[in-house]
Each structure stands twice: as C-alpha cells, then as structure tokens.
C-alpha cells in the first residue's frame, strides 16, 4: 500500500490537487505495478510564512 505525502508552499486549486493525485497514482501503477485502489496521496498545503528557503521565509519574497 503506497502512501505519498506531498507538501507544497501555498494553496492549490481543487483541479491542481486532482491532477497531482491522479498523476502520482498513475506513476506508481506504471512504474511499480501498484494498483490505484491501494495508493494513498496526501497533500499538505503549508502557509508560505511557515516555510523557509535560503535563510528567508517564502512569504518575505512576495513583498
């Protein structure tokens, strides 16, 4: 039973989430032979103010 946790900075639309889940599920089926009904994909949307890169918050780069 594959479990994939995707973390993204900011928010995604429902359509983007759907495409991510479908794509990851299809990839696991094609590459690893995992049946789609056994694959779990969780998407965590992290506020940009709670995510840092290069010593700066991602929210700082928007200003």
> One of 2, 21, 29, 51 is an active-site residue; which one?
2
Confirm if 56 and 21 have CB atoms less than 8 A apart.
no
Find, among 37, 18, 20, 36, the residue nearest to 28 by Cα. 36
Q: Is 2 considered catalytic here?
A: yes
CA distance 56 to 52: 5
Catalytic residue list: 2
């Amino acid at each position: 039973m594959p479990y994939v946790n995707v973390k993204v900075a900011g928010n995604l639309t429902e359509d983007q989430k759907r495409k991510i889940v479908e794509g990851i599920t299809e990839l696991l089926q094609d590459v690893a032979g995992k049946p789609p009904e056994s694959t779990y994909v969780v998407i965590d949307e992290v506020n940009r103010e709670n995510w840092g890169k290069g010593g700066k918050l991602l929210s700082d780069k928007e200003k």
